[in-house]
Amino acid sequence: MSKTTKTKSSSIKISNPDKHSAKHSRHTPSPHKIHTAEDQRKKRNFIILITFAIALFLILPITFFILDLQKTATVNILLAPSFAKVDIAGKEYQSGTERVNSYAGKVTVSADGFQSKELEVNLESGKTTDLYVYLVPNDGDMNWYDERPSERQILSAIGDSFAIIQSENYHTAHPIIDILPISVAEVNKTTQEILHDYRIDYGQFEGCETDFCLKITDHTGKDHENALQYIRDHGYNPDDYQIIYQDDNMELTSPRATNN
């Protein structure tokens, strides 16, 4: 009797390496693609950064310009000592030219070791105001400036500026000084007779009741009206001034006032 032997065959499944690699490649980007995506991200961030920087560069000057437009008053500041500061509406400034918001009220000038000053100012839109102030040391000794040449120069500059400002203000208040003082003398060439001889001055004189008067000195005793006409001929009204009249032919100088 013959034996039949059954052999159980086993099969081994061998995967296809090419197929596996292809499947794996669909899920894992290649190094080249990784670098490309990273470069694009960096490029995009760089563009955003540059755009933001350009926008900031353009917006800030425009913003400052708009804010500066709101500051419509100009003030020239000169302070002694050099380290003094002036407080205008809560903001401190030192010597220099500044554009500020229109402001009417008190300002305070101060410096360590010096007596503060409080002033009334009117900083008007579209106008320039000069603010020249010097402070006195706490001990009252102005030699502090003399001992420091640079500070003394500032103090002298303020003094000179005061004189100029006062002169300009005086001229603005009394423009008639453009034609005064004046002396008028007229002689008849044939007879040598003095026809007219008078002088007009301005300022403060004995009998003047204001800080500005006119004075007519009449050397002939007949030129009072001629002097008044001279004033009219140059566009001014004598009635606007107190006029002191002096007649040299009188025994005494007698003030004669023409009040406005």
The reply to whether 149 and 212 lie within a common domain is no
157 and 106 in a common domain: yes
Same domain, 77 and 168: yes
Instruction: Supply the pLDDT for residue 45.
Output: 78
Residues 81 and 157 in one domain: yes
State whether 124 and 50 are in the same domain: no
**Is residue 7 a part of any domain in this protein?**
no
Q: Which of 173, 207, 231 is the last residue before a domain boundary?
A: 173
Tens of pLDDT, residue by residue over 192-209, are 889 999 999 999 998 999
What pLDDT was estimated at residue 63? 60
Pair (132, 203) in one structural domain: no
pLDDT tens sequence across 222-234: 999 999 999 999 9
pLDDT digits (tens, 9 = 90+) for 19-58: 544 444 455 555 555 557 777 777 777 788 888 777 777 7
Domain range for residue 126? 73-173
Residues 85 and 164 in one domain: yes
| Domain endpoint, select from 125, 156, 173 | 173
3-state secondary structure the chain: CCCCCCCCCCCCCCCCHHHHHHHHHCCCCCHHHHHHHHHHHHHHHHHHHHHHHHHHHHHHHHHHHHHHHCCCEEEEEEEECCCCEEEECCEEECCEEEEECCEEEEEEEECCCECCEEEEEEECCCCEEEEEEECCECCCCCHHHHCCHHHHHHHHHHHHHHHHHHHHHHHHHCHHHHCCCEEEEEECCCCCCEEEEEEEEEECCCCCCCCCEEEEEECCCCCHHHHHHHHHHCCCCHHHCCEEEEECCCCCCCCCCCCC
End position of a domain, from candidates 154, 173, 192: 173
